[in-house]
Structure 1
Amino acid sequence: MKYVVREIADREQWEAYVRQFSPNSFLQSWDFGQFHQSLGDRPLYLGLFEGNSQAGGGLFVLTYARRGNYYACAAGPLVREGTSYAEAVTLFVDYLKTRAHQDRASFIRIRPALLNTPDNEKRFRDFGFLPSVMHLHAERTWVLDLSLTEEEILAAMRKNTRYYVKRAPKDGVSVSMCFDRDAVEILYRLQQETVSRQHFVPFTHDYFMGLFEAFKANNEVALFTATFETQPIASAMVNYYGDSAVYHYAASANEFSKLPGAYAILWAAIKEAKLRGCRYFNFWGVVGDDQEKHPWYGLSRFKKGFGGQEIWYLHAQDLPLSWRYHVNRAIETVRKWKRGL
């Protein structure tokens, strides 16, 4: 029987399939597609079917951009064991090619849920893909095993990290977990202060609020705020999706940089993940210990202090669909250089 690609319009059907793949990734969730829809993009929930049996699935977001529209698939596609991965990717690509003209899409970008190995690089090269100039969400990640007890997690932390976690309440730092828009406003405001220190391109207010609203209804997001004498000193947005928690976005105040607010938040978020029954806590993007000049080096050292191990996914791959792709590639190359990435 031949495979057929078709769009899925039912949330329950979609979620039942993607949650079979562990670690679960919110990047392939129904709600992540709805978040992108709130930003004006179009989510395509594509399923690969053999009769009525689903053999593959991938959330491809038709992203509208001035430099050229494109399809983006992060942490996917997800292909059932026993199904040819190469055939599945080929069929998804063929489907997107049939609609690329009407969507004015100039390329397909995939950051697969495959490890960063020479064999996987070759696999996509054989499909006709090129390594992308930019990343697509976190690729080199740091993940903590939550099957450990709290005592075991503390014991495995770097000495200084454990010290700051325990010191936070003694310094008068308290952490609250919130599920309201006011907490998002705090995160957004503190991000502006963080930008002034670290000089990165900030996320918009609509981006933060849209992400929160998309995951709030199903209790898959929480905002953590650290305070000192009623003043917010640090904030983080954490996604809880299936068996995985993700330390997605965080920010802190300039004035209280010496207080361990971020340490207190992460420890609270880890404990909440254990209460929810998560198996993994993903600290999100990190860089190598040898990349001392990278803008994320200090943040990576901070994350790694909590213990865990690196999971490094294959870099994002691009498949050009028109000449406009090369214009986009040139623009992204300049942007990457300016950001020092």
Structure 2
Amino acid sequence: MSSSQLRAWRVTDPDAWNAFVEGAPYHAFPQLWEWGEVRAMGGWRPVRLAIGPSRDHPVAGAQLLLRRMPIVGWHLAYVPRGPIGDLNDPEVRVALVAALRALGKAERIATVRADPEAQSETPYGRALLAAPWRAAPKIQPPTTRVVDLTPGEQALKAALKRKHRQYVNKAERSGVTIERFDGSTPPEVVGPALADFNRIYQFTANRAGFVARQAFYYERVWSIFAPSGRVRLSFAVRDRERVAVLFHFTCGERAVESYGGMTDAGADARANYLLKWAAIADFAREGFRVYDMWGLATGGIRQFKEGFGGEEIEYVGARDLPLRAPMDAALRMAIPAYGLAQRVRLKLLGRDIHETRETV
């Protein structure tokens, strides 16, 4: 398909956009309509751009999050885990870049910052490593571990490392059980569960040295994603106390583990081993094909994730597409200053900033 045969348009129908996202190559949950609505809470303005031969046949696209930068006056456009689509095709890539440039003129965008799930050995990944793209500061985790769920529950459990199987069994013997919530759970039931999620997650953030958002943020995330059924919450429970938690998003055939934590009691009971295994097994039984652990830290957390099998994946990382050279240069100077101002604000609020941060 020639790039001249492809036209661009803005998508304003949530269902149409999500149908495209979930069926597109390189798709990821931050490209879902709901994620744009979540980030709108933080001052970003979502724009959904598609290209294709016709409006009923999009072949590539991007949900861009626009933020007007102070002083500079132009916008940075961030594409979380995108663009997506048939981007191994060079003609599609040419058409998409042209569409992004046209959008840049209309919206006064100085720079488009992309961060797709593209590996360097793919045609898409190789293209991102060349002009007109350039390297950008890391935003989302550049590496992750994914588990192929298609072999089924029995084979997946056999693939666990021996120690992990032992700890899963130990947690079960000690009376740890699993409690699950999804988008159909009534608000009066899920409300206390989200409060416990926040309690455990804040405890974990303080212990591990990263900044978690305030409780209302996760409550809003749930309320936005729940109607579409693309969100799950799972707890490990011991002696009637919730001691470990995982928060998942789903997108197409993928389940993504985005937030998680545990208490000291959960660590003592090895509850996190049983909780993660139960999540993997549940999604496999439901017919999902991929379980994404969403990022790999160093040390013990990395080893913990490795024990559940799967494959380590490395993406090309964040890449910038400069659209207006003078404004792009000004923006590159303004962003660090803006980040410093945000860190000072958090310091004044008593919330320390550490090197490790939540990224979604």
Q: Same fold by TM (over 0.5)?
A: yes
2:99 to 92, 95, 115: 92
CA offset digits 1:203-240 (Å, max 9, x no partner):
23233122212211111111111121112211110112
Give the counterpart letter for 2:119 in structure 1. L
Distance in 1 of aligned mates of 2:49 and 2:94: 15
Q: How does 1:1-341 map to 2 (within 5 A)?
A: 1-22=4-25, 24-52=27-55, 53-63=57-67, 69-80=75-86, 82=89, 84-101=91-108, 105-117=109-121, 123-135=127-139, 137-179=140-182, 180-287=190-297, 296-320=298-322, 321=324, 322=327, 323-329=330-336, 339=355
Runs of 4+ aligned structure 1 residues displaced above 6 Å come to 65-68
Encode CA deviations 1:69-106: one digit per residue, 9 max, x unaligned.
521112222233656243034223203321343xxx55
Answer with 189-198 or 244-253: which moved more: 189-198
CA distance in 2, matches of 1:87, 1:202: 39
Q: How far does residue 141 in structure 1 lie from its aligned partner after superposition?
A: 1.1
Give aligned-pair identity as a percent.
23
CA drift at 1:66: 6.2
Residue 204 of structure 2 contacts residue 263 of structure 2 at CA under 8 Å; is this kept in 1?
yes
Q: Which string of whole-angstrom CA distances, capped at 9 and with x for unpartnered residues, describes residues 289-329 of structure 1? A: xxxxxxx4321211111000012211111234421222314
Question: What amino acid is the match of 1:62?
Answer: L
Aligned-CA RMSD value: 2.8
Name the stretch that deviates more: 147-156 or 74-83.
74-83
Q: Which amino acid aligns with 1:54?
A: P
Alignment CA distance shift 1:85-1:112 (3 Å):
farther
Does the CA-based 8 Å contact 1:174-1:228 persist in structure 2? yes
Worse-matched range after superposition: 23-32 or 196-205: 23-32
Partners of 1:20 and 1:302 lie apart in 2 by: 31
Aligned-partner residue type, residue 355 of structure 2: R
1:277–1:120 distance in 2 versus 1, CA, 3 Å = closer
Q: For structure 2, which runs of at least 5 residues remain unmatched after alignment? A: 183-189, 344-352
Describe the shift of the 1:18–1:269 C-alpha distance in structure 2 as closer, same or farther (beyond 3 A).
same
Task: Give the superposition deviation at 1:125.
Answer: 4.9
- 1:292 is matched with none
Is the 8 Å Cα contact of residues 5 and 95 (structure 1) preserved in structure 2? no
Matched length: 328
CA distance in 1, matches of 2:148, 2:340: 36
Contact kept? 2:245, 2:262, Cα under 8 Å? yes
Q: Is the 8 A contact 1:39 1:210 kept in 2?
A: no
**TM-score w.r.t. structure 2 length?**
0.82
What is the rounded CA distance, in whole Å, between the counterparts of 1:65 and 1:198 in structure 2? 31
Gaps of 5+ in 1: 288-295
AA partner of residue 77 (structure 1): P
Report deviation, 1:166. Answer: 1.3
How far 1:253 sits from its partner (Å)? 1.1
